[in-house]
Structure formats: C-alpha cells, structure tokens
C-alpha cells in the first residue's frame, strides 16, 4: 500500500520505520524537514508538504502533538485535504480532542475522504518495538483496509466505535494512569522514608492487587528520582486537558485527574515538562522532604 506519514517525532519516526519494514511504499513529511532524513535513508520518499504527501497515497497517517497541528496539517493551506483523492483514508494517530476529530472528519467527508482516529498508548518503547496499543474510531470498512498498516505498528489494536471513539478511549487511558502514577509515588515515598529496600518492596508487590505496567516499568524512576523518557509530562498534561474538557462537556466528575493535572502544571512551571510522566513523584518527594 502507498502510505504517507506526516510527523517524524519521537513516536512518528519509529512508527513509520515499522511500516517501511513491513514492505509498504512510504512517503514522509515533517514541518522541520531535516527530521525526514532518517526515514529517507531507510528508503522512504520525502514530500514537501502535507498536500504533496497526500497526493496519490492510499493512506495518510498523521502523528503530531496537538489539536491545532492536526487541524492545520489536514485542513490548512497545503493541507492533506487539498492533495487527497476521494477514497483516501486519513488516519490520525495523534492524541487530540474527540470533538475536533469529528469536525475534521466531517470536512474530509464532504470531499469523499475517509477518516479514522487511531491514537496510541505504549510510549516510545512501544513505537520502536511495534508493540503499541492502538484504539481505532471510525467505520469498519476503513478499519479493515488499514489493518495491515496498524498491525505493522502495534500489538493490541481495537476498533472501539465510531469516529472520535479512539480519542475518548485514549482519554480514558490517560485518566486511568494518572491515579496509578500518583499513589505509586505516595506509596514509594512512604517506603523510602521508612528506610525499606525499595526494589525488593516493588518485587514483593508486583504479584498482587497493586500490580500494574506502571509499577513494573516506572518504580525505578521514582526510587532513583530520575525520569528519563518514556513519555513527557507536558504531553500527558496536554492529554489530561483534553480529557477534562471532554468530561466537562459530558458532565463527568474527575477529581483525581484534575489534581494530577495541577501537579503537572507545577512540574512544567519548575522546568520538568520534558521529563517522563513518572516525574509526578517529584511532587510527593519534595512535599515529603526527600531531597
């Protein structure tokens, strides 16, 4: 299949690599053009704009940071909408507003262009190892068509509902992890202050009701007070704001999520926005007098 991939960031670049490895014809585009080099060296074509990338493609994938970026890439001047043909499938794998997603899909639909929203979870490790969790919203016919492409990037791929449902599912994911990060940080801080052998404690708890991906994969960061990426605080913060906006619209009460969003506001203000989201532990450590 002819696949164009727009957005060569921490996630997009390895995801595009995996599509290329699966044997598809790949064209890449990035606003900062130098970031196209890695993929070009691996055998991908380069396009000068989203419009050019969309031209002749069967599938156009976007994977960028936020709602305005996706709007501009798809609907703006030199946007995907000006290059894509009727029948082209646009797959947005960014994490953005479900409401904006439906609006973009409607505009594409007026030109016969199909859209799916397919945000991912699993971080940069998942992008590299092609083990992403992908949550897909849209029509079944299009989901079936792009499934081989999605399978090149992810392990658990679920068609969760109509357009926008992928983004709501991603919001649910970001909400759920918030509380786990926070009380993991609280629990570990208690153990550290009590002088316990923390790696042993994590081991002891990993077989029971406290077991989670976060306990297994992010406790070390919190114990060592060092937060290499992973997934940036400022991106999780952006996702929580989408989640909170969506919840306000639907009338859903998210007190712990709002609390974590406030902790992250503070982390970003103190210059920790580019650390891994496990840096939430900084807030608890500092409030407890741990260095």
Residues 153/19, Cβ–Cβ less than 8 Å: yes
Cα separation, 129 vs 107, whole angstroms = 34
Q: Length of the chain in residues, anyone?
A: 291
Angle, helices 165-193/198-205, rounded to nearest 10 degrees = 130
Cα separation, 228 vs 275, whole angstroms = 6
Nearest distance from C-beta of residue 187 to a second copy, angstroms: 4
**Site for a second copy contains 55 (CB under 8 A):** no
Residues 59/88, Cβ–Cβ less than 8 Å: yes
Q: Residue 147 or residue 252: which is nearer to a second copy going by CB?
A: 252
Show the tokens assigned to 172.
């649910």
Site for a second copy in 218-247 (CB under 8 A): 231, 243, 246-247
**Site for a second copy contains 91 (CB under 8 A):** no
Nearest distance from C-beta of residue 19 to a second copy, angstroms: 20
Site string for a second copy, 190-219 (x = CB under 8 A): xx-xx-xx--xx-xxxxxxxxxxxxx-x--
Beta bridge partners of 116: 91
- Which range binds a second copy by CB under 8 A, 4-12, 23-31, 84-92, 153-161? 153-161
Nearest distance from C-beta of residue 137 to a second copy, angstroms: 10
Q: Is the dihedral of CA 216, 222, 223, 224 positive or negative?
A: positive
Decide if 170 is catalytic.
yes
Give the contacts of 93 (CB within 8 A, at least 6 positions apart): 11, 12, 15, 61, 62, 63, 118, 119, 120, 134
Q: Residue 38 or residue 158: which is nearer to a second copy going by CB?
A: 158
Nearest distance from C-beta of residue 217 to a second copy, angstroms: 8
Q: Which among 155, 170, 193, 200 is annotated as catalytic?
A: 170
Three-class DSSP category at 139:
coil
Nearest distance from C-beta of residue 13 to a second copy, angstroms: 20
- Which range binds a second copy by CB under 8 A, 54-62, 141-149, 183-191, 221-229? 183-191
**Site for a second copy contains 147 (CB under 8 A):** no
**Site for a second copy contains 251 (CB under 8 A):** yes
**Site for a second copy contains 179 (CB under 8 A):** yes
Nearest distance from C-beta of residue 31 to a second copy, angstroms: 27
- Which range binds a second copy by CB under 8 A, 5-13, 18-26, 67-75, 122-130? 122-130
Q: Residue 149 or residue 177: which is nearer to a second copy going by CB?
A: 177
Residues 181/213, Cβ–Cβ less than 8 Å: no
**Site for a second copy contains 259 (CB under 8 A):** yes
Show the tokens assigned to 84.
């894509």
Place of tokens 């002891």: 204
Cα separation, 30 vs 64, whole angstroms = 9
**Site for a second copy contains 181 (CB under 8 A):** yes
**Site for a second copy contains 255 (CB under 8 A):** yes
User: b or e along 268-278 (b: 16 or more beta carbons within 10 Å of the residue's beta carbon)?
Assistant: beeebbebbbb
Site for a second copy in 61-80 (CB under 8 A): none
Residues catalogued as catalytic: 170
């Amino acid at each position: 299949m002819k696949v164009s991939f727009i957005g060569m960031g921490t996630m997009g670049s390895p995801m595009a690599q995996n599509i290329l490895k699966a044997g598809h014809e790949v064209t890449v585009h990035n606003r900062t053009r130098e970031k196209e080099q890695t993929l070009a060296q691996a055998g991908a074509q380069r396009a000068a704009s989203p419009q050019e990338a969309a031209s002749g493609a069967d599938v156009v994938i976007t994977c960028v940071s936020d709602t305005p970026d996706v709007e501009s890439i798809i609907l703006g001047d030199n946007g995907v909408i000006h290059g894509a043909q009727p029948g082209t499938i646009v797959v947005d794998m960014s994490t953005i507003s479900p409401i904006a997603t439906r609006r973009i899909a409607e505009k594409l639909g007026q030109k016969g262009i199909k859209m799916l929203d397919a945000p991912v979870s699993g971080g940069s490790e998942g992008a590299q190892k092609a083990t992403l969790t992908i949550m897909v919203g849209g029509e079944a016919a299009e989901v079936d068509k792009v499934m081989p492409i999605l399978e090149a990037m992810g392990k658990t791929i679920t068609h969760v509902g109509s357009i926008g449902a992928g983004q709501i599912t991603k919001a649910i994911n970001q909400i759920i992890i918030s509380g786990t990060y926070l009380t993991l940080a609280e629990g570990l801080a208690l153990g550290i202050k009590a002088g316990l052998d923390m790696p042993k404690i994590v081991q002891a708890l990993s077989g029971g009701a406290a077991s989670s991906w976060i306990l297994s994969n992010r406790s070390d960061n919190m114990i060592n007070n060092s937060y290499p990426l992973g997934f940036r605080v400022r991106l999780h913060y952006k996702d929580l704001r989408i989640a909170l906006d969506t919840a306000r619209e639907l009338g859903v009460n998210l007190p712990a999520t709002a609390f974590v969003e406030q902790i992250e506001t503070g982390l970003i203000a103190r210059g920790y926005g580019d650390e891994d989201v496990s840096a939430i532990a900084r807030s608890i450590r500092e409030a407890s007098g741990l260095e």
